[in-house]
Amino acid sequence: MNLLVLGLLLAFASPLLLWPIEQIFPWPFIVEEMVKAFIVILIANHQIKWPIIAGLLFSLSETVFYLFNFFKLANFDDFFTRIIMTTTLHLTTILIIYLGALKTVGTTNWFYPRRLNSLFF
């Protein structure tokens, strides 16, 4: 249960934690997807509702984080479009990674090469 809580907290906090890294790294989407894969590794032993909740938390916190840009620009025309699109995107990618992780749920080591390989192939 502790890994589940850690995974959900990481899903909620990771957009804020990734922001400085994404400013430096030339391909920020790669870092973001690697963090999502780590979140899925943490919660892969649980029911499918937990990756869905993790995806919702990730998209909610990212939307709140980017809400400051909407306030700064004083233009909320694309706000609801962004909520719908980012939620759909993050839910889909986390569920795809979760389906890959289901192949090796029985392994006890997080960094077992077959488990990490199944997340991406």
Per the prediction, the chain carries an average pLDDT of 80
Higher pLDDT, 43 or 120: 43
- Residue corresponding to tokens 């899925």: 40
Give the count of beta carbons closer than 10 Å to the beta carbon of residue 13.
13
Mean local confidence (pLDDT), 30-55: 86
Q: Is 120:100 a contact under the CB 8 Å cutoff?
A: yes
Residue 26 has pLDDT above 60, yes or no: yes
pLDDT of res. 120: 54
Residue 67 has pLDDT above 70, yes or no: yes
Mean local confidence (pLDDT), 53-64: 89
Phi and psi of 110, rounded to 5°?
Answer: -60, -40
- Residue corresponding to tokens 């980012």: 86
Give the count of beta carbons closer than 10 Å to the beta carbon of residue 100.
19
Looking at residue 108, the DSSP 8-state letter turns out to be S
Percent of the chain whose predicted confidence (pLDDT) is above 90: 14
72-110 pLDDT per residue, tens: 878 788 888 888 998 999 999 999 888 888 766 555 554
Instruction: Record the pTM.
Output: 0.76
Mean local confidence (pLDDT), 2-19: 85
- For CA atoms 33, 38, 42, 46, the dihedral sign is positive
